Amino acid sequence: MAMVMAMRPRTLLRIFLVVTALLLPSSLVGVATATTTGPADPAEAAPTTPSARLGAAASPGAAHRGLTGPALLGAAGPVVWHVPITAPGQVRDLERAGFDVARSTDDNALVIGDLGVAGRLRALGYRPTGFGDLYREPATPRRSAAAGTYYGGYHTVAAHEQHLDDVAREHPDLATVHDIGDSWLRTRGWGGHDIKAVCLTRKEQGDCARTPDAAKPRFTLVAQVHAREISTGELAWRWIDHLVGGYGTDTEVTDLLDSTEVWVVPIANPDGVDVVVSGGNHPRMQRKNLDSDNGTCPASNVGIDLNRNSSYKWGGAGGEPCAESYQGPEPRSEPETVALENLFTSIYPRQRGTDDSDPAPAGARGVMLTLHSFGDYIILPWGWTDLTAPNDAQLRALGERMAAHNGYTVGTNAETVGYETPGTTDDFTYGVLGVASATFEIGSAWGECGGFFPRYSCVDSEFWPENRGAFMVAAQAAAAPYALDRSHPAAGTRSAGGSGDDPAVTRAAG
């Protein structure tokens, strides 16, 4: 009893509600937990604060007024269900069954879906214990969104395209825009987009050409490979503006652009982003591209996971076409993957040997960061195996220098998300080209700045300030990324931690 009395009232309330949820019929689970009040304890693995989810989950005030029934959730759309994981392989089973697993640990999965999804989970014997809302932005933005924006200020694909054109026009001495390929819809003549990259440097003869042996070292930042990871495209936008706006006045920026080419692909999956944007103040959960040639999937599950489709060590990420981590029918089957791989092979020489254990030489150049969300991680190669990369010590040294700015956890898959991810962008750039590469998982799971759809204000209050320095460290390292730590550990060390013993389990969040 003393222990119970020591608990905060909201903790007791949560326990009551979880127990209630377990006892109630599935159709009432979400309604029961929707009445929770007060902030959640992150240690309980709640995906958001209840106050945030109440603020945006339904029509304003609906939950507070005690409205019940499926209509409440019908208005809110999909939510995040907590699903306890009680046996090995369950996460894989959920993905293969078509569930959208946003994030998972050894004992818990966050599954996106509405009441019908919760009912399907229960029918399969799972016990979803409550939900958090996907949306952190207030249902009614405090200011009217500017043209070319959605969900409080996030930029549309058209706005990103216009931004690159504006930067090139206003800074012809610094910026060169390249069309690096077509989105899947564009290849079919069904709309879609050219995929754009911008190269930023103080231009001299031959700079920003797509030739591997450039005079200057190259840093590349790639964002929104996964469409719904919406903070990442904004970070690419801020990074571009920081560089072109600071040249000539900011010494660090000026030195960087005098010495280095900075390449940015702000929207690597523009078709998918169009779908996300189409939800407006309730962005849609599109992760993959829009390739509908494989299987007969519901519209919301169409596409190929572009971060499982890269050609280096492709395969083993999942062959279920409707799964959110579907790898595609063959390596680099998707035009978006081809665009990225062709960009990389046109601007970086092949610097690493072909054996798994060949390190990139100490004199190799080039850095590539690919931005995803969420988790507050800097994930280092390899993705395809739980063996550490042959340049593990040097990659870790670079990772720690970046983490000094954003505070993220640095490690391999096994040390961060806990499972293997064959076919990732960074495995290609490191594995084929020897470019020092990493995946950032921007933001946490909790609070207004957590999840896939953080409040727009979080970009400038949190994500950009904490990552600006990390990007700068990466860019400044492009001349000699492996010089940070010259020790060469034995390649092929099995990395510690995690549950990487099930290669078929793949994360969907990253």
What's the min distance (Å) between Cβ of 465 and Zn ion? Answer: 22
Bridge partners of 409, per DSSP, are: 377
Q: Which is nearer to Zn ion, 240 or 306 (CB)?
A: 306
Strand partners, 104: 109
DSSP string, 66-117: T--SHHHHHHH--EEEEEE--STTHHHHHHHTT-EEEEE-SSEEEEEE-HHH
Annotated active-site residue in 341, 441, 448, 462? 441
Give 160 or 372: the residue with its C-beta nearer to Zn ion. 372
Q: Pick between residue 373 and residue 388 the one whose CB is nearest to Zn ion.
A: 373
The binding track of 451-490 with respect to Zn ion, each residue x by CB under 5 A or -, is ----------------------------------------
Q: Which residues contact 444 (CB under 8 A, 6 or more apart)?
A: 42, 374, 375, 376, 450
CB of 416 to Zn ion, least distance (A): 13
How far is it, in rounded angstroms, from Cα 184 to Cα 196? 14
The CB-of-226 to Zn ion minimum distance in angstroms stands at 3
Which residue is listed with tokens 């390292």?
A: 477
- Nearest residue (CB) to Zn ion, 193 versus 226: 226
- DSSP strand pairing (154-155 vs 149-150): antiparallel
Q: Record the tokens describing residue 350, joined without a space.
A: 């092949």
**What is the spatial distance between Cα 147 and Cα 486, in angstroms, rounded to a whole number?**
50
Residue closest to Zn ion, measured at CB: 372
Contact 267, 273 (CB under 8 A): yes
- Whichever of 377 and 464 has its CB closer to Zn ion, that residue is 377
| Footprint of Zn ion on 216-255 (CB under 5 A) | 226, 229
The smaller minimum CB distance to Zn ion, of residues 372 and 455, is found at 372
Please select the residue that binds Zn ion; options are 50, 359, 399, 510, rule is CB under 5 A.
510
Strands 218-222 and 261-265: parallel
Total Cβ atoms within 10 A of residue 38 = 14
CB of 462 to Zn ion, least distance (A): 18
State which residue, 49 or 421, has the beta carbon closest to Zn ion: 421
Instruction: Please state the closest distance from residue 372 (CB atom) to Zn ion, in A.
Output: 3
Residue 264's contacts (CB-CB under 8 Å, 6 or more residues apart) are: 197, 198, 200, 220, 221, 222, 223, 236, 239, 240
Task: Give the per-residue SS3 of 233-274.
Answer: HHHHHHHHHHHHHHCCCCHHHHHHHHHCEEEEECCCCHHHHH
Full 3-state SS string of 433-472: HCCEEEEEECCCCCCCCCCCECCCHHHHHHHHHHHHHHHH
Residue closer to Zn ion, measured from CB, 216 or 507: 507
Helix (H, G, I), strand (E, B) or coil at 189: coil
Cβ neighbourhood burial of 487 (10 Å; 0-12, 13-18, 19+): exposed
| Alpha carbon of residue 13 to chain centroid | 33
Q: What minimum distance in Å lies between the beta carbon of 336 and Zn ion?
A: 13
Q: In whole angstroms, how close is the CB of 373 to Zn ion at the nearest point?
A: 7
Q: How far is CA 360 from CA 363, 401, 470, 491, 492, in A?
A: 8, 19, 22, 12, 14
Helices 9-23, 26-34: axis angle to 10 degrees equals: 170
* Residues 250/385, Cβ–Cβ less than 8 Å: no
Minimum distance from residue 213 beta carbon to Zn ion (Å): 32
Between residues 186 and 226, which has the closer beta carbon with respect to Zn ion?
Answer: 226
Per-residue DSSP letter, 344? H
**Gyration radius of the chain's alpha carbons:** 22
Q: Among residues 372, 396, 455, 507, which is the contact residue for Zn ion, using CB under 5 A?
A: 372
Q: How far is the CB of 13 from Zn ion (least distance, A)?
A: 34
Minimum CB separation of residue 325 from Zn ion in Å reads 10
- 3-class SS of residue 49: coil
Only segment of 60-68, 106-114, 155-163, 371-379 that touches Zn ion (CB under 5 A): 371-379
> Has 204 been annotated as catalytic?
no
Residues 6+ apart with CB under 8 A from 416: 375, 377, 379, 409, 441, 498
Q: How many residues bind Zn ion (CB under 5 A)?
A: 4
What is the rounded CA–CA span in Å between residue 252 and residue 49? 38
Quick one: 47 or 510, whose CB is closer to Zn ion? 510
Question: Should residue 103 be labelled a site residue for Zn ion when binding is judged by CB under 5 A?
Answer: no
Catalytic residues: 441
Q: Which residues bind Zn ion (CB under 5 A)?
A: 226, 229, 372, 510
